[in-house]
Amino acid sequence: MIRIDGVSHRIGHAPILHDISTQLPQGRLTALIGPNGAGKSTLLRLIGRLEPLQQGRITVAGHDIATTPTDRLATVMAILGQQTAIASRLRLAELVAFGRWPHHKGRPGPADRAKVAQALEAFALAPLAHRFLDEVSGGQAQRAHIAMAVAQDTEWMLLDEPLNNLDMAHARGLMRRLRLMVDEGRSVGMVVHEINYAAAWADHVIAMKGGRVVAQGPADEVLTESLLSDLYDTPIHVGQHQGRPLVLHHC
Amino acid sequence: MRPLPALGLSVLALMLGSLTVGAAHIDLRAVFSDSQAMLVLLESRLPRTVAVALTGAALSVAGVLIQALVRNRFVGPDTSGTAEGAALGLLTITILWPASPLWLRMIAASVAAMATTALFLAVIRRLPVREVMLVPIAGLVLSGVLGSIVTFIGWQTDLMQYVGTWLMSGEFSGVISGRYELLWVAAIAAALAWFSADRFAILGLGDQVATGLGLSTATVMRLGLAVVSVVTAMVVTTVGMIPFVGLVVPNLVARIMGDNLRASLPVVALVGAALVLACDLAGRLVIRPYEIPAGLVLGILGALLFLWLLHRRPAHG
Ligand SMILES: Nc1ncnc2c1ncn2[C@@H]1O[C@H](COP(=O)(O)OP(=O)(O)OP(=O)(O)O)[C@@H](O)[C@H]1O
Ligand SMILES: [Mg+2]
């Protein structure tokens, strides 16, 4: 479980998060939703200790992120940021292989290589493995970054808009894989903008707006017409499809 | 052909060439019977050749490191205030304690180089990431300002003759046995960096990815800073600054091999050694029996190479 207790955050003098207390349940796929600027990325970055925690307390699977050594945390959670553009010229295989670094610290064994090969295979990157990161398409680079996080093979995975740049088939493929990982006992927290991915795949939803959590709970309890319409300040219709909510916002 | 053996052979060939070229004619096959030739070889030619190779290798590795630290390919140890910092440190200790022992001067030069490079890092961390060209410009400005300060103090204290040898483009004609051994310190520092190659490569992926992988970015930055500063300080104080090597060689190698530093650092070192050896050799051959400083040859060749790289590579590099 990820516990967030009384977390507030400011950038300069601007308050970004206001006294947030919530939980991401263990062994579940949690979707963070909310309009642009709601503070989703900021919260995820705080959990992933990419940003120093200013106020409050966060624990990931029992590890207090303020006191646990950062390299230890890297074996408990993997985090993929929203901004993945990097200037480095690595081959995709080399990038994904760095996902194993927290475990082997420079001395990869056969098990590490197998995990990297698996991750490359899982995201259809094997044919591109020897291409340079700055010589592949945006979606291919995004898949490589996700594969790196998957290769890290941690109890928790935190992904900020992983569906960015992915086509329909790869987006669906990613969600299926995350679902599979969750069913095998891992936990995932992800920021999603396309609500129907949350509706179709998430167990738990946390809705944020203006730096506050406005709703949280099982997906079908949170993804209701009134709540979503308020959240996004836009009329939204929610139907049903194969027993899951289907959010309609055409026209 | 595999790059490492081929490059190793080229460096060896260039070193042999460097041993045979010089004002006095010596026949390498006869050195064991000719004691005069042996003396020239051991006291002058060999030290010079080794000095050139070590300088090229160490500066190139330092270039890779500083580029990983600032995440920008358009900087080198000669354009980040490092060399001027080393000169400033040397100047300060020379003024404060003219009779100071060599090791203390080297420490002063290294520490000052570290301080100015840290200043450079602090400045560029405040710049917007997307402005790729601001970083090298900031480096040039800082180098320029520091260089002027050093020159000013040099004039005021009648130490221009030293300052000249540190800041002007470097050359190797003064290298004799007993006067270049500090370059080994530079080479060892550069070699040590290889053991942390993965860490530098991960740092080059950005703070976010590096932290996510559990790397302490501050520690790796400090390590890189130390290596770059020691290398530059040793080179500046022994032979003067050699321009462009630390900028061009990392770019050339990254184009072909990418940024997997564990694999590419040895190649970078060999290419750097070969490039400076070739330039030193060329400088000795074109106007025989006189010499053009290797730094000057590199200034011209390096600038051309760099322009070509700029032209070939899209600006996001
Ligand atoms: N560097 C910054 N300086 C000032 N304000 C910032 C900075 N970064 C983010 N903010 C503000 O913090 C708030 C939360 O940003 P955050 O990136 O967490 O939003 P988000 O929910 O992830 O949005 P999006 O859906 O657009 O990714 C926004 O109002 C944003 O304007
Ligand atoms: Mg965001």
User: Is the CB of residue A33 less than 8 Å from the CB of residue A228?
Assistant: no
Identify the residue among B260, B267, B268, B309 best suited for mutation to test binding to A, counting A beta carbons within 10 A and taking the highest.
B260
Question: Smallest CA–CA separation between A100 and chain B, in Å?
Answer: 8
For ligand 1, say whether the CB of A190 is within 6 Å of any of its atoms. Answer: no
Taking CA atoms only, the protein residue closest to ligand 1 atom 13 is A37
Topology of domain B52-311, CATH: ABC transporter involved in vitamin B12 uptake, BtuC (1.10.3470)
pLDDT of A69 reads 95
DSSP label at residue B170: P
DSSP label at residue A164: T
Rounded CA-CA distance B259/B203 in Å is 11
pLDDT at residue A77 is higher than 80: yes
For ligand 1, say whether the CB of A13 is within 6 Å of any of its atoms. Answer: no
Minimum-distance CB partner of A90 among B71, B259, B316: B259
Q: Which two tokens stand for residue A30?
A: 């949690």
Work out the average pLDDT over A26-55: 95
Domain boundaries, chain A: 1-76+156-251, 84-153
H helix intervals, B24-101: 35-40, 46-70, 82-96
pLDDT of B177 reads 80
User: Is the CB of residue A87 less than 8 Å from the CB of residue B255?
Assistant: no
User: Is the CB of residue A23 less than 8 Å from the CB of residue A54?
Assistant: no
CB under 8 Å, gap of 24 or more: what pairs does B218-221 form?
A: B220/B196, B221/B69, B221/B121
User: Is the CB of residue B255 less than 8 Å from the CB of residue B129?
Assistant: no
| DSSP letters for B149-162 | HHHHHHHHTT-HHH
Global pTM? 0.91
pLDDT of A142 reads 93
User: Is the CB of residue B140 less than 8 Å from the CB of residue B79?
Assistant: yes
B71: left (phi over 0), alpha (psi -120 to 50) or beta: left
Domain boundaries, chain B: 52-311
Q: If you search the block for the tokens 């320029």, which residue do you land on? A: B144
Give the three-class secondary structure for B283: helix
Average pLDDT over chain A, rounded to an integer:
93
Rounded CA-CA distance B96/A117 in Å is 60
Residues 6+ apart with CB under 8 A from A50: A79, A81, B207, B208, B211, B212
pLDDT of B316 reads 45
Handedness of CA B140, B142, B143, B144 (dihedral sign): positive
Confidence bin at A241 (pLDDT 50/70/90): confident
Alpha carbon separation from A68 to A5, A76, A158, B203 (Å, rounded)? 17, 11, 18, 21
Confidence bin at A30 (pLDDT 50/70/90): very high
pLDDT of B315 reads 43
Q: Is A89 exposed, middle or buried (0-12, 13-18, 19+ CB in 10 A)?
A: buried
CATH code for the domain defined by A1-76+156-251: 3.40.50.300
Q: Which two tokens stand for residue B227?
A: 């290596």
Minimum-distance CB partner of A74 among B198, B201, B214: B214
Rounded CA-CA distance A81/A208 in Å is 18
Give the three-class secondary structure for B39: helix
User: Is the CB of residue B116 less than 8 Å from the CB of residue B84?
Assistant: yes
Residues of B in contact with A80 (CB under 8 A): 212
CA closest to B315 among chain A residues: A87
pLDDT at residue A154 is higher than 90: yes
**Intervals of chain B under pLDDT 70:** 1, 129-130, 169, 313-317
User: What is the CB neighbour count within 10 angstroms for residue B4?
Assistant: 12
Q: If you search the block for the tokens 């970054």, which residue do you land on? A: A145
pLDDT of B24 reads 72
Q: Do A90 and B254 touch (CB under 8 A)?
A: no
pLDDT at residue A224 is higher than 80: yes
| DSSP letters for B212-239 | HTT--HHHHHHHHHHHHHHHHHHHHHHT
Q: Which one has a higher pLDDT value, B164 or A183?
A: A183
Rounded CA-CA distance B126/B131 in Å is 11
Single-letter amino acid code for the residue at A70: T
Using one digit for the tens of pLDDT, what is the confidence trace for A79-99? 998 876 777 899 999 999 999
Q: Is B211 near chain A, with CB under 8 Å?
A: yes
pLDDT of B29 reads 75
User: Is the CB of residue B237 less than 8 Å from the CB of residue B163?
Assistant: no
Alpha-carbon B145 to chain mean position = 20
User: Is the CB of residue A59 less than 8 Å from the CB of residue A68?
Assistant: no
